[in-house]
Amino acid sequence: MKVSRLAASGALAGAAVLALSGPAFAHVSVQPEGAAAKGGYAVVDFKVPNERDNASTTKLEVTFPADHPLSSAMPEPMDGWKIKVTKTELAKPLEVHGKKITEAVSKITWTADGKGIEPGYFEKFPVSVGALPEDADELVFKAVQTYDNKEVVRWIEVQQDGQEEPENPAPVLTLSAAAEDGHHGSTAAKDASDKTTTAASSDSAASSDSSDTTARVLAVVGIAVGALGVAYGVLAGRRRSDA
């Protein structure tokens, strides 16, 4: 009886955990491929799960943050989806790499031209974005998910500090600290290349020095052998004369 009660309690607890965690797993979310460092560029994936058993997701609209506009946002081509990039004029131009940017991507829309995301599946929508802001710790993207039965789910609610997670939270991209050298690894690669070049030059110089030493030794040996040959010839000539 005790075993049965324990098993029943465990099953109820497991069901409760699944019931509470299920919606969280079903959220539209955004994650970087690697790191999304402040001031740098990154590829981010908008992960879209299908929450319905009898309908497919056929459209995704992602609105980009207006308070931190991004000068570049390029979606990756995807089979089975048409992609539309919408740009908006900026009230205050951005300066990126010495150039003034007067417009930024405000929304990207993916529309299925096939089956879309069928029940029981999810799909990732990759976008290359940058330059990421240096004065923010996160970026909020609002997403709208549309099913082929015309149902629309708006993932637009912003998480408030100290409050429970909203029912339809907006995807949030967390930004990491900026790279110290500001080149996101390019300096390290250059240093490695310089070390390789230096090592190769040292090996070449060492090989050249070794060859020079060998040549000098052989020259000295050759001179000595030649001198011995001359001396032997002189001595042999004298012996013949004496005879």
Tell me: the pLDDT tens digits for 17-35?
A: 434 444 445 799 999 999 9
3-state secondary structure 113-146: CCCCECCCCEEEEEEEEECCCCCCCEEECEEEEE
151 compared with 203, residue with greater pLDDT: 151
Q: What's the rounded Cα separation, in Å, for the pair 44 and 171?
A: 11
Measured on CA atoms in the order 179, 184, 189, 190, is the torsion positive or negative?
negative
193 band by pLDDT with thresholds 50, 70 and 90: very low
Q: What's the rounded Cα separation, in Å, for the pair 130 and 173?
A: 13
Q: Which 8-state DSSP code applies to residue 41?
A: -
Phi, psi of 44 (to 5 degrees): -115, 150
Contacts by residues 184-190 (CB-CB < 8 Å, ≥ 24 positions apart): 184/37, 184/40, 184/41
- Token look-up 């879209």 returns 48
226 compared with 49, residue with greater pLDDT: 49
- Token look-up 């000595």 returns 224
Q: pLDDT tens for residues 121-158?
A: 999 999 999 999 999 999 999 999 999 999 999 999 99
Q: Quick one: tokens of 149? A: 């039965």
What mean pLDDT is predicted for residues 81-92? Answer: 94
pLDDT of 218 higher than 80: no
98 band by pLDDT with thresholds 50, 70 and 90: confident
Q: What's the rounded Cα separation, in Å, for the pair 92 and 98?
A: 15
pLDDT at site 165: 87
99 band by pLDDT with thresholds 50, 70 and 90: confident
Q: What's the rounded Cα separation, in Å, for the pair 28 and 143?
A: 7
Single-letter amino acid code for the residue at 48: V
| Mean pLDDT, rounded, of the chain | 76
Q: Are 141 and 171 in contact (CB under 8 A)?
A: yes
227 band by pLDDT with thresholds 50, 70 and 90: low
Give the residue from 136, 156, 134 showing the smallest Cα distance to 145.
156
pLDDT of 71 higher than 70: yes
pLDDT at site 180: 67
81-96 and 99-112 as β-strands: parallel, antiparallel, unpaired? antiparallel
Q: Quick one: tokens of 190? A: 């250059």
Q: Quick one: tokens of 240? A: 């013949």
